[in-house]
Amino acid sequence: MSVIAPKFRFSEFLKSITDNLFWIIILVTLIGLPVIMIVLLFVDLPVYQGELINPFLAFSWMFHPELSLPLIKSFMITDFFRIAVFPGFGFAVLLATSVIFIERKMLAKLQLRVGPFYCGKIEGILQLMADGIKLVTKEIIIPAKADKPIFILSPLMFVGAAAAFVALIPVAPGWVVADIDLGLIAVFAVIGFFPIITVLASWSANSKYPFIGGIRALFQMVSFEIPLILSLLGVVILTGTLNLSEIVASQASFPWIIFLPVGAIVFFIAMLAELERIPFDLPEAESEIVAGWLTEFSGMMYGLVQLGSYIKLYAFAALFVVIFLGGWNGPMIFPPLEEELILEGKTIGPITIQTPGLPIFSMEFFSGVFWFILKTAAVIFFILLPRGVFPRVRIDLLLDLGWFKLIGLTFLNIFIALALLYAGVFGPGGML
């Protein structure tokens, strides 16, 4: 008899399952379906085969696997889908949460430990879910003398700023939430919000350790923003655009890291400092100042800050991929579908397979997303790797690195870019 369920009985187990089924059916019919209907009455529905779909038709189509395809397709071109699901928040959260698990497991392997092991059958794969449930159900403790409005708002603003960052990243051709002409400047503007939120959060907690951590974070982020911005100018000089999609499109034949390796290295180091990763994790140095500026956060507020910082990690890695590694460009690995299969269906022996309206995405899209995720995962791996290897640096060495070495190297990078431009390698009428 196991310890977790000492009075386990199969009949009671069955009863609980049927009870749950009963309540699910009751609630779905009495609440769920009317809510869907009411929502459909207020949503703009698409035109399909020359006629406007009315809510009743859409309602009956929704539960028909073949007829619901036009509805899904029309949903996928809406802005809401882009913001909430694919290139936007949902995709980033999925990647960020998987990064948390992979980081713990990878560090454990590096340090000859086991890591998360007991939740879930395979290598503790459910550990993250357990942590999430723990964070959600924990009490949120606000310090008595804290500045409540700022203290409560700052985790939300942190996640919001990270989501705004994610919204600027192009994932596949045409798949970006905000495809603005000044994408890179917008990225700098969004990055500028993180030190404000950090220092306000640390101040509002009204406690010593968060304040020390917040001041350190401010020092570090503000001083590493300068090499971060300057190291990207080389690419801007060579491409002549600030739009991130156009920067990716300019790397169809070669990524910029080949010609601007100095800029890429400087950007990577500045990125580590902006993300407060080891070896630059002074703001949350757990062996010196408890947990730095996160000390007073508890429960889901802590969870939100962690989620925000991992979304930020994904966004920075994706920015590195977009600017230096060529984004979605790469060899086509999925062969394009046959025209015959899409238009008429295919006959295999006695069976004819027909797929009306089925290829929702083109194969180019899958290939692009595959390369983007592969490169992003590689960059994230290199961001996580120093945590298993390096100790923390001292703050004066950190500032010395940021102000003297990295800024000097960024100027070198800009001169390399200018030399390539004036030597006629790139630019209008260039060799490449």
Partner 1 sequence: MADAAFLALSVITIGSAIAALELRSLVYGAIGLMGTLGGVAGFFLLLDSPFVALFQIAVYVGSIAVLILFTVMLVKRELIFKKIEDPKRKWAGIGLMLIFMVAIGAVILDSGLKSVTTDEPPVDFREIGDDFLTYYWPALILMALILAGSVTGALVLARREDEISGPRTD
Examine residue 195 and tell whether it contacts partner 1 (CB under 8 A): yes
Examine residue 218 and tell whether it contacts partner 1 (CB under 8 A): yes
Contact present, 116 and 127 (Cβ < 8 Å): yes
Among the listed residues 181, 286, 288, 340, the single contact to partner 1 using CB under 8 A: 181
CB nearer to partner 1: pick between 221 and 313: 221
> 268, exposed or middle or buried, with CB in 10 Å at 0-12, 13-18, 19+?
middle
Output the smallest distance, CB 144 to partner 1, in A: 18
| Closest C-alpha among 272, 274, 280 to residue 194 | 274
Among the listed residues 26, 27, 52, 397, the single contact to partner 1 using CB under 8 A: 397
Among 12-20, 54-62, 307-315, 391-399, which window interacts with partner 1 (CB under 8 A)?
391-399
Examine residue 360 and tell whether it contacts partner 1 (CB under 8 A): no
Q: Which amino acid is at 157?
A: M
Examine residue 222 and tell whether it contacts partner 1 (CB under 8 A): yes
What's the rounded Cα separation, in Å, for the pair 399 and 224? 8
Output the smallest distance, CB 421 to partner 1, in A: 13
Interior/surface letters 348-358, b for 16+ CB within 10 angstroms, e for the rest: eeeeeeeeeee
Examine residue 196 and tell whether it contacts partner 1 (CB under 8 A): yes
Contact present, 288 and 216 (Cβ < 8 Å): no
Examine residue 242 and tell whether it contacts partner 1 (CB under 8 A): yes
Output the smallest distance, CB 88 to partner 1, in A: 20
Among the listed residues 2, 49, 396, 428, the single contact to partner 1 using CB under 8 A: 396
Examine residue 180 and tell whether it contacts partner 1 (CB under 8 A): yes
Following DSSP, what letter does each residue of 256-310 receive, concatenated?
GGGT-HHHHHHHHHHHHHHTT-TTS-GGG-TTTSTTGGGTT--HHHHHHHHHHHH
Q: Which residues bind partner 1 (CB under 8 A)?
A: 147, 150, 180-182, 185-186, 188-189, 191-193, 195-196, 199-200, 203, 211, 215, 218, 222, 225, 240, 242, 396-397, 399-400, 403-404, 407
